Amino acid sequence: MARDDDLSYLGKALAELDEGSVETLVRQYLSQGIAPEDIIAELSAGMAVVGERFHEKEYFLTELIYSGEIFKHAMAMLQPFRKTFTGGKAKGVVVMGTVQGDIHDLGKNIVITQLECAGYTVVDIGVDTPAQRFVEAAVESQATLVGMSMLLTTAFDAARATVDAFTRANLRDKVKIMIGGAVTNEDVRQKIGANFWGKDATAAVDIARGVYQ
C-alpha cells in the first residue's frame, strides 16, 4: 500500500490533485533527462494514494475522475518521448480489459500507459468484457500475456470464467494471465486461477518483462 510519506514530489502533487505542480514537475523531470518510465512510476504511486483515499471515502468520484484527467494530461506530455525511450521496437503484446460486469477503467488505463511506455504493444479491449472476447483478442494479436482488471468483488466469477474460457480453447498453457485492481490480492489470484497478481502498474510491467524475457 502506498503511503503519502513514501511519495516523491510528483507523486504527492498528483495525490493532492495539484494539476499545475504535476505539469511543472513533469516538464522539469524531462528537462533533466529522467526516463519516462520513472516519471510514470511516480505518477502511478500518486494514483495509488488517490485510490486509497477514494476507498476510505476521503475522496469521492469527482476527485477520482479529476485525478484521472491530470494523469492523462501528464501522459500526453510524455508521449513525444516514448519512441526515444523504447527505441521504437515493441517488446511483446499484452491484451488488457476490465472483466464482464465491471465498467471501471481508470486502473486499466494506467497499466496500459505504463506498459506502452515500457515498450509493449497493448490491445485494449475495454470494459465489461465477455470472457470470449479476451480469448479472441489473444488469438488475433498472438499475445502471450493477458491482463484482467476489476474493481468489484462481484466480478470475480467473470474473471474465473475468463480463465476457464482459455482452458476450453486449449490456450491455457500458451497464455499467461495476470489480474489487478483494488479488490485483488494473491489469494484472489489463486482462487481465480490466474498466473500473476499485479498490485500496481509497476508490478504489471515487471510481470510483462518476466513473460517476454
**Last residue of one domain, picked from the residues 21, 54, 85:** 85
Outline where the chain has alpha helix (H): 9-15, 19-31, 36-55, 61-78, 82-86, 106-117, 131-141, 156-168, 186-192, 201-211
pTM over 0.85: no
pLDDT in tens, 118-155: 788 999 999 999 999 999 999 999 999 999 999 889 99
- Pair (109, 202) in one structural domain: yes
Phi, psi of 15 (to 5 degrees): -60, -30
**Last residue of one domain, picked from the residues 85, 112, 136:** 85
What one-character DSSP code corresponds to residue 59? Answer: S
SS3 164: helix
**Last residue of one domain, picked from the residues 43, 64, 85:** 85
- Pair (43, 139) in one structural domain: no
Task: Identify which has the larger pLDDT, 123 or 107.
Answer: 123
**Domain count of the fold of the chain:** 2
Give the CATH number for residue 153.
3.40.50.280
- Pair (94, 178) in one structural domain: yes
- Pair (42, 102) in one structural domain: no
Length of the chain: 213
- Pair (63, 95) in one structural domain: no
- Pair (74, 94) in one structural domain: no
pLDDT beyond 80 at 90: no
- Pair (143, 199) in one structural domain: yes
pLDDT in tens, 24-48: 999 999 999 998 878 888 888 888 8
Range of the domain at 180: 90-211
In our burial notation (b when 16+ CB lie closer than 10 A, e otherwise), range 158-186 reads bbbbbbebbeebebbeebbbbbbbbbbee
- Pair (112, 203) in one structural domain: yes
pLDDT beyond 60 at 84: no
- Looking at residue 133, its pLDDT comes to 98
pLDDT beyond 80 at 181: yes
- Pair (41, 116) in one structural domain: no
Give the CATH number for residue 73.
1.10.1240.10
Phi, psi of 197 (to 5 degrees): -120, 125
- Looking at residue 41, its pLDDT comes to 83
pLDDT beyond 50 at 2: no
- Pair (49, 18) in one structural domain: yes
